[in-house]
A and B are shown apart, each in its own frame.
Chain A
Amino acid sequence: MNGHELIRSRHPVKGREPIGSRHPMKVQKPMNGQESMKGPDTE
């Protein structure tokens, strides 16, 4: 498989999801200081 084929096969849908969306930090609920001491809300 050449480079183009590899890229296309891994991204079959045009308009790939933004890289940043894979980062857990960006999808975490904002926490205040006390909440952050306890860790993220898992309920």
Chain B
Amino acid sequence: MKRQIFAPEHDAFRDTVRAFLDREVLPHYAQWEKDGIVSREAWRAAGKQGLLGLAVPEEYGGGGTPDFRYAAVLAEEFTRAGAPGLALGLHNDIIGPYLTGLATEEQRRRWLPGFCDGSLITAIAMTEPGAGSDLQGIRTHAEDRGDHWVLNGSKTFISNGILADLVIVVARTTPEGGAHGLSLLVVERGTAGFERGRNLDKIGQKAQDTAELFFHDVRVPKENLLGELNGAFLHLMTNLAQERLSIAVSAIAAAEHLLEITTEYVKEREAFGRPLATKQHIRFEVAEMATECAVTRTFLDRCIEDHSNGELDAVHASMAKWWATELQKRVADRCLQLHGGYGYMSEYPVARAFTDGRIQTIYGGTTEIMKEIIGRSLLS
């Protein structure tokens, strides 16, 4: 089915993204995977190419558009290229809204130009060793010392954790406040007491740096409070819908791409003297996956459209997230199976997509949490 959400300007933007991938990402990607991290030069190049801060107002150096279709194009092309390591989506779609939506004018002037030119790489630190989906369990805490906070605690599984120059830390600022005693504090690179742990060894997304972060008596200026004091829970809930949509967009793009490469493979690969594609089982497998992708694509495009119009709610974002990522997981598994032994070899894109994609049903809210959100909305 022909997609109906894009105008010629989005197609032109897609060409720009593809050219950037060909020139600045793919030639280096194997090295980045070996290093476990992408280069800072790649971030600078993305800034120069106008791929950072698409939604940031022009006066701060951004693209100035709330049109999420550009973000969707970016996510789709990076996914199709098999290059999730350069985490522009995390920076633009997940962290960007916190800085543009919650920052004071002074904070915007301080951070957004660097956010857009690639000199300030960002991360958001929610998860702790003992608190993932359960935000109420966050133990990292900040004590009010008049003109500053003193921050103590640790975070884990933080994407961009090694590269990040600005980290939005979810910390408890009111001990007895439960989920409503949390605030967002921005910790900047070089602040005394802010240390990074090891670059974690993951099963996929090898070029993406994911780290533990430690805070030992970190002095955070009061002017680095982002949003309302004790308002983090509401801020997180507000922004998680876009995060979940962004993940869902990459998930359906991954599933479609896996189907494309597998379709080509089964046409070429012969068994028992004939191409695999002539076997009924293979045809049924491909037919089922193509149908599921087409149905999911239609729903996702509607969600992208709704979100660009400011109409996507948390429940539908949760539906998109769990459904598309679970589809991606199923399709990756089935496509790997159809590749046989070659599918288990890391140099095959299907193998990389299998491991790179496995996290999708976990981060940004697990499938189980998504179902809780949807179920609660219907039953309470």
Residues in chain A within 8 A of chain B (CB atoms): 1-8, 10-11, 14, 16, 18-20, 22
Contacts and interface: CB of A to CB of B under 8 A. Distances in A.
Interface in B44-71: 48-51, 53-54, 58, 61-67, 69-70
Contacts of B116: 4
A19 B16 CA distance: 22
A21 to B, nearest CB: 9
Interface of B: 5, 7, 9, 12-13, 16-17, 48-51, 53-54, 58, 61-67, 69-70, 116, 305, 308-309
A11 to B, nearest CB: 6
Given A10-B9, A20-B305, A20-B309, A3 B63 contact: yes
A8 B64 contact: yes
B308 A19 contact: yes
Contacts of B61: 4
B63 A7 contact: yes
Give me the 5 closest cross-chain CB pairs, A-B, nearest first.
Answer: A3-B50, A2-B50, A4-B50, A10-B9, A7-B63
B50 A6 contact: yes
Contact of B49 (A3, A7, A11, A18): A3
Contacts of B9: 6-7, 10-11
Nearest to B61: A4
Nearest to B48: A2
A16 to B, nearest CB: 6
A19 B50 contact: no
Contacts of B53: 4
19 contacts: A2-B48, A3-B16, A3-B49, A3-B51, A4-B116, A5-B50, A6-B9, A6-B16, A7-B13, A7-B63, A7-B67, A7-B70, A8-B63, A8-B64, A10-B12, A11-B65, A19-B69, A19-B305, A19-B309
Nearest to A5: B50
A1 B15 CA distance: 11
Contact of A7 (B5, B65, B305, B309): B65
Given A4-B61, A6-B12, A10-B7, 19 more contacts: A2-B16, A3-B16, A3-B17, A3-B50, A3-B63, A4-B54, A4-B63, A5-B50, A6-B9, A6-B16, A6-B50, A7-B50, A8-B63, A10-B9, A16-B67, A19-B5, A19-B67, A19-B69, A19-B308
A1 B248 CA distance: 29
A16 B65 contact: yes
Contacts of B50: 2-7
Nearest to B20: A3
Contacts of A6: 9, 12-13, 16, 50
